[in-house]
């Protein structure tokens, strides 16, 4: 066990992918279009439109090169332009906010509430009122995020968005298959963002998709994603487009992955339940769970918080030197940091536990660092309450993927117990 690396999260290939990939090569569809792309989009539409009641939705899906591309195109479709402002959850990965800056607009960060760790509706309302008072204009869009798969308080956020007539772009990149009141995340707002990166619930190796309200909007997104070419026999461009379409090869992987998507989601939920059972009597360690029956997280990652008073072996030695080499997995960081510490970082016991688990060949990571604490966004407006900063200091992500077995979870829990003083 200890000789094998237990990865944080890695999508598991089903075997069907090879059939679709071979078909693409045999038919010479090795381009950013083709039958696999069309088939994958149809599979996704069936998946996202399925509700846990008799009513079905009618959303359309466009497959793209990345979840970040989906955020970018959704912002364009919502009319975001230079000088505009977009309200975005602070407690998230940078892909939720960076595309706002691509467009010359300004992200306005909104902190989290404690139940779901996602966008606080009360702060959202305060931010909208304050931005209107200060700028004379409404923000152009609202971007809530399904952090680690957990649904946001979408009913309250929808009510506020509708009151001010501001479109919602749901960032469900981590929430593929998560539901609120039986409805799939990404289908409540004007647009919904999905990601199929290698560490997501299903993968296309890299890729994403945008859930659109109807066929007309989907055609507009597809046009932007294919360099905004006009219908002439030669290349005519009357708007700026992007090379964001998913390839037929990647879509073939996605079609195979869709055959096991439900299995992946159920496995993640099972791993979460096992962590909760095995850690329930471990002092100072608390798992993050669904707040009520309305919330149905996919538990893309299983997350826990550590009591600040919990002592971990070696915590007096952490943050002693700058990390050298790549960190953070296959797409890791290679840019050398200027200092071993920052003004906002996980507590010493959290970092000590990460180091201890790493020594046991278990990959664990801190929670996302809030965007309003990132140096690159030091001048961005932010409406904060201390929740995301507080969680970042005490939280840790534990492995939770299709490769993680029950024995792995027991080994991880035993390693956590062994690290506690």
- pLDDT tens for residues 195-245? 999 899 999 988 999 999 999 999 999 999 999 999 999 999 999 999 999
Q: List, in order, residues 6 or more apart from 381 with CB less than 8 Å away.
A: 85, 106, 108, 109, 127, 131
Return the CATH number at 42.
3.40.640.10
- Residue 9 falls inside a structural domain: no
- Residue 2 falls inside a structural domain: no
Q: Which domain holds residue 367?
A: 262-419
| Lookup: tokens for 180 | 């609120």
Are 110 and 152 found together in one domain? yes
How many angstroms separate the CA atoms of 247 and 9, rounded? 24
Q: Read off φ and ψ for residue 303, nearest 5 degrees.
A: -120, 150
**Cα torsion through 9, 14, 15, 19, rounded to 10:** -110
pLDDT in tens, 278-329: 999 999 999 999 999 999 999 999 999 999 999 999 999 999 888 776 555 5
DSSP string, 137-199: S--SEEE-B-GGGPPP-HHHHHHHHHHHT--BEEE-TT-TT-EETTEETTSSSSEEEEE--TT
- Residue 24 falls inside a structural domain: yes
Are 382 and 234 found together in one domain? no
Are 95 and 216 found together in one domain? yes
Are 27 and 97 found together in one domain? yes
- Return the number of other C-beta atoms located less than 10 Å from residue 79's C-beta: 10
pLDDT in tens, 332-357: 666 778 888 999 999 999 999 999 99
Are 133 and 43 found together in one domain? yes
How many angstroms separate the CA atoms of 34 and 307, rounded? 52
How many angstroms separate the CA atoms of 160 and 163, rounded? 5
pLDDT band for position 34 (cuts 50, 70, 90): confident
259, with CB counted inside 10 A (0-12, 13-18, 19+), is: middle
How many angstroms separate the CA atoms of 362 and 364, rounded? 6
Return the CATH number at 313.
3.90.1150.10
User: In angstroms, what CA-CA distances link 177 with 44, 160, 233, 300, 324?
Assistant: 10, 24, 41, 10, 37
Report the candidate in 415, 357, 353, 368 with the shortest Cα–Cα distance to residue 149: 368
* Residues, the chain: 421
pTM, full prediction? 0.93
Are 256 and 276 found together in one domain? no
For residues 11 and 258, the answer to whether their CB atoms sit within 8 Å is no
Are 291 and 366 found together in one domain? yes
Query: How many CA atoms lie less than 13 Å away from 185 in the CB half-sphere?
Result: 32
For the residues 374-403, what does the mean pLDDT come to? 97
pLDDT in tens, 45-88: 999 999 877 789 999 999 999 999 999 999 999 999 999 999 99
- Return the number of other C-beta atoms located less than 10 Å from residue 23's C-beta: 16
For residues 8 and 408, the answer to whether their CB atoms sit within 8 Å is no
Are 57 and 195 found together in one domain? yes
- Residue 8 falls inside a structural domain: no
The better pLDDT of the pair 151, 20 is held by 151
Are 111 and 194 found together in one domain? yes
- Residue 6 falls inside a structural domain: no
Residue 331 has pLDDT above 60, yes or no: no
Number of domains in the chain: 2
Are 208 and 97 found together in one domain? yes
- Residue 183 falls inside a structural domain: yes
- Residue 4 falls inside a structural domain: no
Looking at 223, 242, 260, the residue that finishes a domain is 260
Looking at 235, 260, 285, the residue that finishes a domain is 260
Per-residue confidence (pLDDT) for residue 13, from 0 to 100:
67
Residue 1 has pLDDT above 50, yes or no: no
How many angstroms separate the CA atoms of 336 and 238, rounded? 42
Are 147 and 215 found together in one domain? yes
Looking at 202, 237, 260, the residue that finishes a domain is 260
Are 23 and 113 found together in one domain? yes
- Residue 321 falls inside a structural domain: yes
């Amino acid at each position: 066990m200890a000789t094998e690396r237990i990865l944080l999260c890695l999508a598991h290939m089903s075997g069907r992918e090879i059939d679709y990939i071979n078909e693409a090569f045999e038919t010479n569809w090795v381009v950013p279009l083709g039958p696999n792309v069309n088939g994958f989009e149809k599979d996704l539409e069936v998946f996202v439109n399925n509700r846990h009641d008799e009513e079905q939705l009618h959303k359309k899906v466009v497959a793209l090169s990345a979840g970040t591309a989906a955020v970018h195109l959704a912002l364009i479709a919502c009319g975001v332009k230079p000088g505009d402002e977009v309200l975005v959850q602070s407690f998230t990965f940078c892909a939720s906010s960076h595309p706002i800056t691509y467009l010359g607009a300004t992200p306005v960060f909104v902190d989290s509430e404690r139940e779901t760790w996602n966008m606080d509706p009360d702060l959202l309302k305060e931010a909208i009122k304050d931005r209107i008072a200060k700028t004379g204009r409404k923000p152009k869009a609202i971007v809530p995020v399904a952090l680690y798969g957990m649904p946001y308080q979408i009913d309250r956020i929808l009510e506020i968005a509708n009151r001010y007539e501001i479109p919602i772009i749901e960032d469900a990149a981590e929430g593929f298959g998560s539901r609120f009141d039986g409805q799939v995340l990404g289908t409540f707002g004007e647009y919904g963002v999905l990601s199929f990166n290698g560490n997501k619930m299903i993968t296309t190796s890299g890729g994403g998709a945008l859930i659109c309200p109807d066929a007309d909007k989907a055609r507009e997104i597809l046009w932007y994603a294919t360099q905004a070419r006009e219908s002439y026999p030669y290349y005519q461009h009357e708007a700026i487009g992007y090379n964001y379409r998913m390839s037929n090869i990647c879509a073939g992987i996605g079609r195979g992955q869709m055959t096991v998507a439900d299995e992946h989601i159920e496995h993640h939920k099972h791993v979460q339940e096992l962590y909760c059972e095995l850690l329930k009597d471990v002092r100072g360690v608390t798992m993050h769970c669904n707040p009520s029956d309305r919330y149905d997280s996919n538990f893309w990652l299983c997350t826990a918080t550590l009591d600040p008073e919990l002592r971990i072996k070696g915590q007096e030695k952490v943050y002693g030197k700058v990390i050298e080499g790549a960190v953070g997995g296959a797409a890791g960081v290679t840019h050398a940091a200027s200092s071993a510490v920052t003004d906002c970082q996980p507590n010493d016991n959290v970092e000590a536990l990460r180091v201890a688990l790493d020594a046991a060949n278990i990959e664990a990571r801190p929670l996302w660092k809030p965007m309003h604490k990132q140096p690159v966004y030091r001048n961005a407006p932010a409406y904060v309450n201390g929740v995301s900063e507080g969680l970042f200091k005490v939280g840790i992500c534990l492995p939770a993927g299709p490769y993680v077995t029950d024995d792995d979870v027991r080994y991880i829990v035993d390693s956590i117990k062994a690290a506690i003083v």
